[in-house]
Amino acid sequence: MPPRTAALEHFICKSCLSTLRKRNPAAQWALRHSSQAAQPLASAPSSRLSNEQELERQKTLEALGLLKKDKNSGVSVHYFEQGKGGRLRRLEDEDEFGQSLMDPDGQSDPRFKELEQELEQATQFTKIVEEIWGKQGAEKLRKRVATQDESSPKPSLLLPEDDWSVSQGRRHIVELNNMIKTTGRKFFGETLTAKRFNAAWKYYSAARVALSQKWESVHEDVWDLLWQILSMDHENNPNRMSHIHILAKDIQKAGVSLRPDQQLLAIEATFISGFKEEAITAHKKLVTTLGTNPETFVDFWQLGLRMYCLVGDIARAERVANTLLESPYAKDPRYLLPFIRMCAQNSDTVEKGFEMYQRLRSALGDSITIEDYDQIISYFLTSNETEFAFYIFVEMMTSRTVDLRGARRVPSSVANPFFYGKWLKRLIGTGDLQGAYNVILHMKSKGVMPHSIVVNGLIGAWLRSGTADNIQKAEEVAWAMINARIQFLSIRKDMQSLATSVELRQYGEGWPRANLETFSLLAENYKERGIHTKMKDLWDAFMRSEIAPNSFMLNQLLFSYLQDGQGKYVAALSRDLTQHYQVEPDSWTFMVLWQALPVNRLVQLSPGQILEEIPRTRSLFAELVQSAHIFAASGIDTKLARYVLHSFRKLDDKIGLLLAYRALRQIFKFSPPDIIILELQVGSMDIERTGKGKGSLRLVHAGKQVETYLRRRHQELIASGELPARGGLPDDVKREELGNFLDQFIQNQIAAMRGTNAEEEITQAAIEMGLQGEVPSHEESSDV
């Protein structure tokens, strides 16, 4: 076989060429499929060449080395490709034929590369969408794009920064884009913080000037995202309406149409921002569009009703309310509440407001709630229309079985202090104090006397509020009740000489008579405010009211004297009152008595005064021991025990201190905390102040004393087998050992005293303190 040369690379014999050219030239290529080419010759299409010509052609091909033999059938197969210009090219083998069949003219590779680039760009775009709007927002965008016309522009989530030059404020556009990326991702994934909302508005407001120069460069989707962020109704977005007002105007300037829901929110934002006339005008312009659209009908007219009610346009508000009532669309009848509130504020329209309440009640039916009643009642009470409020309350309490409208006489089932009392308790509980006061005045005008316990509840609520106006009302009502009681007692005394059949009735302003709770409320308030003059007047009135005081009333009076700098009268006043009224003192009574001692009240005592105060202090402790039963339930207060111990310490009465400490531990079951032990060691009630001065060394020494004692006692308890070798001191054991430490500390101080007979002095002090046989005998110890 001769070698193949370049001249023969594309050589085709004449017979083959003539056969191929007889085929349709419009075909892209003239080839047989490999499956057909491999078939036997019998199945091949018949050739017009004679047998001799075919043999000659085969020999020529074999001589040129162009004949490929099939191993299976012995048939040679040749592959050719015809280009667009009609030029034929022989293919190397079956593999090249397959590639030519799948990719004619080699166009697939560039197309595949182009498709890969488009796919990569789409993937990147999807990631950006999901980062900014989240998966849900991205899905909404896909659906919206799928419904758009192919000729419409594609959505853009970011502003084209290159459209603005540096002088035109490109920096603000870049910052706004960064905000869209970060805030948008947070917005669709979680609730935005107040900082995020503020940042969104900050960057948008900074870019507004630059945006106004190229409104056309801001895509509708950017406006939509900004709207969703700035219009979010959340407590972290308090400036929502003012921001929406400005944003809506910018969107309209950009030539972008607002959706119906956006138009309604923009009108509301305009109204709330203070442009009421502008908002109402915009609302009127949309009557024929949004006002007739079934999808926006209810929201549109409810917005108009609210606006007309706020500006006080009763005529238009009534027309809108009737329009809504007569419409067939589903709606919540509570939209009538603003109209009822507006009518209740004016005595000329209060009737109309009550009639609208009845229509609301009928529309709600059984779905009306107590909260609905409370809200409507508050409208009438705030306007001092208590009569209509009472009608509504009666309907609420009686399930509309009692209708007082037009009734000449109120039935006794509702015209009584118990029925009114339920209303007053509800109003006071909800914090409507002015409404409760109006109800009481209404009761008095109808000749119904409120109960003292209910009025006391209102007085207490007024005083707890702390406002000057409420405190003044509380004092006026309380003193009116006190005067009513004093007048009643005076008349009763004058009537003693008359026949017993005479019945006394309430007269005057119709306030109930004060009781002990009324005096107690005023006394506590005067004590907390430090008004001793009013406290004395109150006490004088209390004495005239012939009410037996209790310990609370007594304590308020004693504390008032102490706060007014008249602590020297506290002990005598307490003794007289407890004996005269047989009032048993409580923990607070002893607290004020110990605080009123000169050693706790005065900065410094002379040596002579100290000698006088020691017996008085011991005598007061004896009174405390006599009243030990009042502490049996909850134990003695730590603050009271602290005053007792430091009183003896300040008087340098070490024996009295030891006996008082032992009595507190054994009789009152008192366990001193660490701070009291440390205070008694260093001799100060202000450890913080002591630690800042020279007393810091005493604090360090006292701490080491305690640590050394506890460490030694721990070793002793381990040696005796009471505690295991491992582990520290249990808390209960530590408290007990600290108590023992203080006891031994005071004993050692007594032992260090010279020229004293400790045993005799302890016995004498125990008698003075009412502790005969109550505490164990004195035992000296040098362990501390």
Indicate whether 636 belongs to any domain: yes
Residue 702 CB burial class (10 angstroms; 0-12, 13-18, ≥19): buried
pLDDT for the residue numbered 242: 94
Burial readout 624-639 (b: 16 or more C-beta within 10 A, e: otherwise) = bbeeeebbeeeebbee
pLDDT at 163: 79
User: Do 422 and 436 form a contact (C-beta atoms < 8 A)?
Assistant: no
- Same-domain pairing of 58 and 142: no
CA dihedral 37, 41, 45, 51 (to 10 degrees): 130
Average pLDDT on 472-484 reads: 94
Nearest to 272 by CA among 302, 296, 244, 291: 244
pLDDT at 190 over 80: no
- One-character DSSP codes across 337-360: HHHHHHHHTSTTTHHHHHHHHHHH
Calculate the CA dihedral of residues 298, 301, 303, 305 and round it to 10 degrees.
-130
Question: How confident is residue 151, by pLDDT bands cut at 50, 70 and 90?
Answer: very low
Instruction: Read off the pLDDT of each residue in 611-638 and give the average, rounded to a whole number.
Output: 92
In a domain, 726, yes or no: yes
Does residue 65 fall inside a structural domain?
yes
Considering the domain architecture, whether residues 63 and 184 belong to the same structural domain is answered as: no
Taking CA atoms, 708 is separated from 25, 166, 403, 544, 713, in Å, by 117, 77, 83, 63, 9
Residue 191 domain flag: yes
When pLDDT is cut at 50, 70 and 90, the band that residue 67 belongs to is low
Query: Does one domain contain both 137 and 244?
Result: yes
Task: Please state the φ and ψ torsions of residue 80, each to the nearest 5 degrees.
Answer: -130, 155
Kindly report, residue by residue over 346-359, the tens digit of the pLDDT.
999 999 999 999 99
Least confident of 3-12, 329-338, 380-389: 3-12
Tell me the per-residue pLDDT of 191-228, one tens digit each, with 9 for 90 and over: 778 888 888 899 989 988 888 888 888 888 889 889 98
- Considering the domain architecture, whether residues 78 and 125 belong to the same structural domain is answered as no
Q: How far apart (Å, rounded) are the C-alpha atoms in residues 215 and 253?
A: 8
Nearest residue to 542 (alpha-carbon basis) of 472, 477, 486, 480: 486
Domain count, the chain: 4
- High-pLDDT (> 70) share of the chain, %: 75
Higher-confidence residue of 716 and 622: namely: 622
Query: Which conformational region is residue 504 in: left (phi greater than 0), alpha (psi within -120 to 50 degrees), or beta?
Result: beta
Q: What's the whole-number mean pLDDT along residues 237-260?
A: 93
d(CA 760, CA 766) in angstroms, rounded, equals 10
Q: Give the mean pLDDT of 404-411.
A: 69
Q: From CA 347, how far away is CA 32, in angstroms rounded? A: 102
60-81 average pLDDT score: 58
SS (H, E, C) 546-563: CCCCCHHHHHHHHHHHHH
The beta-strand segments (E) located in 405-522 are none
DSSP letters for 498-549? S-TT------TT-PPPP-HHHHHHHHHHHHHHT-HHHHHHHHHHHHHTT---
Examine the domain organization and report whether 131 and 21 are in the same domain.
no
SS (H, E, C) 99-150: HHHHCHHHCHHHHHHHHHHHHHHHHHHHHHHHHHHHHHHHHHHHHHHHHCCC
Looking at the domain assignment, is residue 488 inside a domain? Answer: yes
Q: What mean pLDDT value characterizes the chain?
A: 81
Separation between Cα atoms, residue 345 and residue 388, nearest integer Å = 12
The pLDDT, as a whole number, for residue 62 is 62
Give the model's pLDDT for residue 486.
92
At 88, is the secondary structure helix, strand, or coil?
A: strand
Q: pLDDT grade, residue 686 (50/70/90)?
A: confident
Residue 328 inside a domain? The answer is no
Residue 405 pLDDT greater than 90, yes or no:
no
- d(CA 525, CA 640) in angstroms, rounded, equals 23
Which one of 107, 123, 149 terminates a domain? 107
What is the distance between the alpha carbons of residues 277 and 341, in angstroms, rounded to a whole number?
A: 21
**DSSP labels, 51-82:** HHHHHHHHHHHHHHT-----TTT-----EEEE
- Rounded to the nearest angstrom, the gap between the alpha carbon of residue 353 and the centroid of all alpha carbons in its chain is 35
The answer to whether residues 520 and 552 touch, using CB atoms and an 8 Å cutoff, is yes
Same domain flag for 762 and 616: yes
Tell me which of 250-259, 673-682, 755-764 is least confident: 755-764
Residue pair 479/525 in contact (Cβ under 8 Å)? The answer is no
Angle (nearest 5°) at CA 123 between 118 and 125: 95
Q: What are the distances in angstroms from CA 449 to CA 28, 473, 503, 509? A: 111, 19, 17, 10
Is the pLDDT assigned to residue 87 strictly greater than 80?
A: no
pLDDT confidence of residue 701: 87
Whether residue 143 sits in one domain with residue 89: no
Residues 62 and 130 in one domain: no
Do 98 and 126 fall within a single domain?
no
Residue ranges making up the domain that contains 513: 452-495+509-547
Q: What is the pLDDT of residues 425-474, one digit of tens each?
A: 999 998 999 999 999 999 888 888 999 999 999 999 999 999 999 999 99
Least confident of 50-59, 243-252, 683-692: 50-59
Q: Does an H or E element contain 90, and which? A: strand 88-91
Q: Model confidence over 765-784: pLDDT tens digits?
A: 999 999 876 655 544 444 55
Contacts of 472 (CB under 8 A, 6+ apart): none
Identify the DSSP state of 727: S
Tell me how far apart the alpha carbons of residues 673 and 679 are, in angstroms, rounded to a whole number: 10
Domain boundary at 107, 125, 159, which? Answer: 107
For 202, residues 6+ apart whose C-beta sits below 8 A from its C-beta are none
DSSP 755: S
Helices 468-494, 532-544: crossing angle, 10 deg rounding: 30
Give the separation between CA 662 and CA 520, rounded to whole angstroms: 37
Q: At what angle do helices 370-382 and 386-397 cross, to 10 degrees?
A: 170
User: Residue 59 has what pLDDT?
Assistant: 65
Lowest mean pLDDT among 185-189, 425-429, 720-724: 185-189
Residues 125 and 251 in one domain: yes
Is 80 exceeded by the pLDDT of residue 648?
yes
Cα–Cα dist 10/28, whole Å: 19
Q: Are 609 and 752 part of one and the same domain? A: yes
Same domain, 614 and 738: yes
Q: Is 43 inside any structural domain?
A: yes
The DSSP bridge pattern shows strands 79-82 and 88-91 to be antiparallel
C-alpha 84/C-alpha 87 separation (Å) is 7
Q: Which of 536, 575, 576, 579 is nearest to 556 (CA)?
A: 536
pLDDT at residue 505 greater than cutoff 70: no
Q: Establish if 747 belongs to a structural domain.
A: yes
Integer angstrom CA distances of residue 711 from 700, 719, 746, 783: 17, 12, 20, 12
| Strands of 203-302, DSSP E | none
The neighbouring-strand residues paired with 90 are: 80
The model's confidence at residue 126, banded by pLDDT at 50, 70 and 90, is low
- What is the pLDDT at residue 33? 40
**Boundary-marking domain end, from 48, 81, 107:** 107
